[in-house]
């Protein structure tokens, strides 16, 4: 695992975006996994800037969203289908036909989840999965004690996650109780993981994911099992890390051939 500690949230967005752009420039047909929420917004803004400047072309990428709420209309402004269209597809000029979001409205959720897994397989799997992390350590909406082997399925959001996401809704009780999410096993199959976190409120989750025991109590600790995981965080989110000096030293001495920016 590579841990990159940066001075502020803007740098987090820029450096994580550079890792993504590096891969897409080499392989324009890259299959991306997309997180929603606040954490990746800086990445999407930076990628959009490069697209506008003409130094990056994402039209040939395919993308699969990590998750979707169950029980809200696709055109609800906070459905992840709407968020992905507004924050990612339009500003990054992705081809909407190549961007997929799990179906949280199907009358047969299990079949819809299996179909989503099939779509990912048929696309050749996810090359680079963008991740945020919840304050309780969830990735995607895999709440604590999610199986490391889990695939796309329905989950019950914890009251803490619903409270954290209430800021996106006009009333707290409008936050759905359920979601469909790629499983931890689905996420683990991605060839590369790029997790971003900003702010003191993420420090405990980052410490548990990076340095804590491998445990389904912190789903983010899955990254410890992955062969190519990058964690890009600001100083505040790094506050709980015991080996932060070593991570800074490693990044400062990173060989040129390994650099992506």
# residues near ligand F6R by CB under 6 A: 13
Among 242, 230, 256, CA closest to 6: 230
Angle at 146 between CA 228 and CA 139, to 5 degrees: 45
Asked if 39 touches ligand F6R (CB under 6 A), the answer is yes
Indicate which residue of 103, 127, 136, 142 is catalytic.
Answer: 136
Token representation of residue 110? 């299990």
Beta-bridged to residue 125, according to DSSP, are: none
CA pair distance 182, 180, nearest whole angstrom:
7
Q: Binding to ligand F6R by residue 89, rule CB under 6 A?
A: no
Closest to ligand F6R by CB, 39 or 146: 39
Cα maximum dimension of the chain: 53
**Would you call 29 a catalytic residue per the annotation?**
no
CA pair distance 150, 184, nearest whole angstrom: 5
Check if 138 is active-site: yes
E strands along 198-247, which residues? 229-234
Output 81 or 133, the one with its CB closest to ligand F6R: 133
| Residue 100 touches ligand F6R, criterion: CB under 6 A | no
Task: Give the contacts of 244 (CB within 8 A, at least 6 positions apart).
Answer: 3, 5, 238
Q: Which residues contact 200 (CB under 8 A, 6 or more apart)?
A: 236, 237, 239
* Stretch 198-257 residues interacting with ligand F6R (CB under 6 A): none
Is 67 marked active-site? yes
Closest contact distance (angstroms) between CB of 134 and ligand F6R is: 4
Q: In the annotation, is 261 catalytic?
A: no
- Which of residues 132, 137, 176, 183 is near ligand F6R by CB under 6 A? 132
Min dist CB 2 to ligand F6R, Å, is 19
Least separation in angstroms between CB 78 and ligand F6R: 12
Single out the segment in contact with ligand F6R by CB under 6 A; choices: 6-14, 132-140, 186-194, 224-232. Answer: 132-140
What are the strands of the beta sheet with 178-181, ordered from one edge?
A: 67-69, 178-181, 153-156
Residue of 68, 117, 143, 189 with catalytic role: 143
Interface contacts to ligand F6R, rule CB under 6 A: 35-39, 66-67, 132-134, 138-140
Residues noted as catalytic = 67, 136, 138, 143
């Amino acid at each position: 695992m590579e841990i990159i500690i940066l001075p502020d949230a803007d740098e987090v967005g820029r450096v994580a975006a550079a890792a993504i752009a590096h891969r897409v420039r080499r392989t324009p047909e890259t299959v991306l996994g997309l997180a929603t929420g606040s954490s990746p917004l800086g990445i999407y803004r930076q990628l959009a800037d490069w697209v506008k400047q003409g130094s990056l072309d994402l039209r040939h990428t395919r993308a699969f969203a990590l998750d979707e709420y169950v029980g809200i209309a696709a055109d609800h402004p906070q459905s992840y289908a709407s968020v992905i269209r507004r924050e990612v597809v339009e500003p990054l000029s992705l081809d909407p036909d190549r961007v997929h979001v799990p179906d949280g409205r199907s009358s047969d959720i299990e079949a819809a989840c299996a179909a989503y897994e099939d779509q990912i397989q048929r696309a050749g799997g996810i090359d680079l999965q963008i991740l945020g992390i919840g304050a309780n350590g969830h990735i995607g909406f895999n709440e604590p004690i999610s199986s490391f082997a889990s695939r796309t399925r329905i989950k019950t959001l914890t009251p803490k996650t619903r409270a954290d996401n209430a800021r996106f809704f006009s009333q707290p009780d409008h936050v759905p109780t359920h979601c469909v999410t790629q499983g931890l096993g689905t996420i683990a199959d991605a060839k590369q993981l790029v997790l971003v976190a900003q702010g003191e409120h993420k420090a405990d989750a980052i410490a548990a994911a990076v340095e804590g025991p491998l445990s389904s109590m912190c789903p983010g600790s899955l990254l410890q099992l992955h062969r190519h995981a990058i964690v890009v965080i600001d100083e505040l989110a790094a506050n709980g890390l015991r080996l932060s000096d070593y991570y800074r030293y490693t990044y400062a001495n990173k060989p040129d051939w390994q650099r992506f920016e």
